[in-house]
Amino acid sequence: MKSKELFWMRLKQEWEHRFRTIKSIVDWTVFVYFVLPATVISFFIYRSWWLEMPNWMDGVPIQLLALFFLLLWGDHFHTYVREADRIFLRKNKKLFLQLKQWGIIYSYLYQCLSVLGVGIAIGPFWYQHFQLHTGDFILFSGLWVSLKWLIMAIKGKWNVQVRGWRSLLRGIPFFIGALIVWGLGFQFFLQQNVGWLLLLIVFNTALSILFVRHRFTSVHNFEQDLTIDELEKNKYTEMIFQLSLDIEKQSRSTSNRIKPRLYTRSNRLFKTRNEKTGYLELFIKAITRNSQYILQYMQIISVTAAAIILLPPVWLKITVFISGAVFLLTWVGNMWRRTVEEHPFVRKYPMEIGFFQAKRIVTIASLIPFIVIVGLLVVIRIFLFTHIPNL
């Protein structure tokens, strides 16, 4: 079998796996009553945007396009290796390397198609509201996709199994560096500095090829390639399962520690022992021991704060704040259901007054950091805008 045939076979298997996962949660009733109506309604709304811009777009600045930075993360370069390749393909070096090369080329092209899809989605706003042209879109897309290639290439050189504080320490400088490059390129785009923008695009692309080159010219990083492909394969499955309310989605632990880092001796958090404090202690320990839950909570706050800062109309800021608060409360309710209501020990006892008291405390306590952090960032933004008018 040739490498091209092997690649297309595995690519087909990957997409079949995604469709099977979707079909496992989207049955015919969900499709008929939710997916199909939503698709039809979305089409007519999208068509109306081409005919006339909605009123809520009035006053929205072009700087809002900077939020595309949030879409740069989460992907890797695929090589489409499998566990069984350890035995057969590694002995056939030429076939093995060509398979990886096809996979990486496909990853490059797939990101180009993804930015094209996003461009079609925002087309009405791009041409009708911001009054930009196709050439502007090509430059903006080149900046976005080249930086994404670079991020994917750098992440491919890291040990993707590293989690916890080590991943945080490694990721913060990386995030800041990518933000600086994105801010510089976006400034070139706003100023129509085509020469410097093209130079930055070429630099990002060349650097990504340099970083990823070792992956398709060597057979000695098989374990890394296998781990990345398994991560990408499971990512779509977990993302789709997150959309299903009927499937329990407890996070899979990636740590080999025997004891948790927090409450290693199951320390009591409250001196008073009653139903309310028992439920609270169960919820607090379950949430704080799971880094994914903490990350989701911070993402809700950060996205809401960024949208409030960037959107100029006051009524739109208020709408975003209310929507963020409602979404946060929905998320907290879902976390409470997972960690408390469906806990095997809790199911043995009826939900009495202590249960509802604890849930109310959790709801209020989760809103306080949200209000404080978002309010503080807005105040800082107003202060900087007042003292630095060109900001």
Q: pLDDT, tens digit, for every residue of 46-81?
A: 888 898 888 777 777 888 888 888 888 878 898 888
pLDDT confidence band for 142 (50 / 70 / 90): very high
Angle, helices 134-156 vs 165-190, to 10°: value is 160
Q: Is the pTM of this model over 0.95?
A: no
User: What is the arithmetic mean of pLDDT over 220-240?
Assistant: 77
Name the average pLDDT for the chain.
Answer: 80
pLDDT confidence band for 90 (50 / 70 / 90): low
For residue 255, what pLDDT is reported?
47
DSSP calls for 279-342: HHHHHHHHHHT-HHHHHHHHHHHHHHHHHHHH---HHHHHHHHHHHHHHHHHHHHHHHIIIIIT
User: What is the arithmetic mean of pLDDT over 173-183?
Assistant: 89
240/36: higher pLDDT: 36
pLDDT confidence band for 241 (50 / 70 / 90): low
Q: How many CB atoms lie within 10 A of CB 168?
A: 13
Percent of the chain with pLDDT over 90: 18
